[in-house]
Chain A
Amino acid sequence: MELLSFGDTGWGDELFLATLMTIAVSIAAMVIGFLFALIFTPLKLSKKKSLNIIGNCYTTIIRGVPELLVIYLLFFGGTGAAMYVASIFGYDGYIEINAFITGALAIGIISGAYSTEVFRGAILSIDKGQFEASKVLGIKKNIQFYKIILPQMLRLSIPNLSNVWQITLKDTSLISVTGLVEIMRQSYIAAGSTRDPLFFYSVAAILYLMLTFLSMKLINKLEIKYSKGY
């Protein structure tokens, strides 16, 4: 237990900050994922074949390759690409892209693919009559989307988005390979310097369990709140 004390001798404060980092990366990734989903969901639902293919490629490829691969590609490839761009402008030094940004972006791209599928499913499950009725009433296309489809879509997708959140939260552990100090990386450091991996990885497991447990509670509350009246 001494190992977990706050202060210079224990790892409590480090692990606490690392937990905050995990939460921060997860939220950032989730938000980035939403942005991707908002771009690709309309493409997947579009009637145009070419747009459709783009949307399908995104979700199929991202869901078909390992998460680690996306992270490595962005981490190593991103640095290379940034250095290449910089070399055009005459800068030849080493550029390191912030691990938080690459990590959140990589996990965001992955979580976006799952969110896209969730949103697509939610829109498809909205009753066709809603679209027709609003069309008959002469409601404009974009107002129809923002005022009628979007609110229902969000409500319908909360249960599945909670799964996406769990996946995203667990995927952030993979960012540790790039050196961002989140729960996994911090436990790795602590395990290395105290030579007690069993203890620190157990602590990491408990921290993740706590995060998943608490977020489930929170999401359940949201679900109840938004399904009022149904």
Chain B
Amino acid sequence: MISIFPDLLSGAVITLQLLVSSMFFGLIIGLIFAILRINKNPIINKFAYGYSYFFRGTPLLVQLYLIYYGLANIEFLRNSFFWVIIKEPYWCAIIAFSLNTGAYTSEILRSAFQTIKKGYIEAAQSLGVTKKITFYRIQLPIAIKQSLPAYGNEIILMLKGTSLASVITIMDLMGEARKVNVLTFKPFEAFITAGIIYLFITFIIHNIIKYLEKKYGFQT
């Protein structure tokens, strides 16, 4: 039990790396698509909706396989500079996870944008605040504060999602647990220990979000 611990911990580091980088890129993607979603232009709007519909309607595994196995099929991409990135399973995983969490994040932020009371925007308008400043200083902070609880759930869902990286040969926590299982034929030890580490990470994320909610939470 103790002997497998270092292996699993090194896997947990990879898991956390995957989580942090895909949450970072996912947040940027999510923000962009949330802004596109509330755009009044029907084409832009539909495009953003289609993006989130596709990534929320298909399993993460399909998306991962599409990017890892599928993109390598395109001759044009293979000859281009992108090949350096998409030949690495690590980057493919980050791309897939970022696009996936980006879709969910855009939905979370969109609903937060739409529930902002009209009065705030009208008040800003009547005070002569420009549209840009209204967005950055009023709408965005409120939306972020309002979406904190839902975003916390999304982080935990993504943490669980990163375990799929193990099927494309990345040695994350799940990959290490699988390796231990294969080497020792002790599935319970390997997977239950990994499960405890996952629960521990979940617990920490949950508490950080709770703390942030308490500190910055938006009470209406």
Q: A residues within 8 Å of B by Cβ?
A: 60-61, 63-69, 72-73, 76-77, 80, 166, 170-171, 173-174, 176-177, 184, 187-188, 191, 196-199, 201-202, 204-205, 208-209, 212-213
User: In the complex, are the beta carbons of A208 and B58 less than 8 A apart?
Assistant: yes
Name the distance in Å between B208's Cβ and chain A's nearest Cβ.
15
User: In the complex, are the beta carbons of A176 and B195 less than 8 A apart?
Assistant: no
User: In the complex, are the beta carbons of A209 and B54 less than 8 A apart?
Assistant: yes
Name the distance in Å between A23's Cβ and chain B's nearest Cβ.
14
Closest to B163 in A: A66
Q: Tell me if B85 is interfacial: C-beta within 8 Å of chain A.
A: no
Using C-beta atoms within 8 Å of the partner chain, give the interface range for chain B: 35 or more
Q: B residues within 8 Å of A by Cβ?
A: 53-54, 57-63, 65-66, 69-74, 156, 159-164, 166-167, 174, 177-178, 181, 185, 187-188, 191-192, 194-195, 198-199, 202-203
Kindly count the residue-residue contacts between A and B in the assembled complex, taking CB atoms under 8 Å apart: 116
Question: Looking at the complex, which one of B58, B71, B160, B161 makes contact with A65 (CB distance below 8 Å)?
Answer: B160
Question: Looking at the complex, which one of B57, B65, B194 makes contact with A197 (CB distance below 8 Å)?
Answer: B65
Name the distance in Å between A72's Cβ and chain B's nearest Cβ.
6
- Point out the residues of chain B lying under 8 angstroms from A170, CB to CB: 58-60
Closest to B65 in A: A201
Q: Which of B58, B71, B174 has the most CB of A within 10 A?
A: B58
Name the distance in Å between B137's Cβ and chain A's nearest Cβ.
34
- Point out the residues of chain A lying under 8 angstroms from B60, CB to CB: 170
How far apart sit A177 and B62, CA to CA, in the bound complex (Å)? 12
User: In the complex, are the beta carbons of B174 and A208 less than 8 A apart?
Assistant: no
Evaluate whether A208 and B187 lie within 8 angstroms (CB atoms) in the complex, with A64-B202, A64-B203, A198-B66 already known: no
Closest to B164 in A: A68
Question: Looking at the complex, which one of B57, B59, B185 makes contact with A171 (CB distance below 8 Å)?
Answer: B59
User: In the complex, are the beta carbons of A198 and B73 less than 8 A apart?
Assistant: yes
Name the distance in Å between B121's Cβ and chain A's nearest Cβ.
29
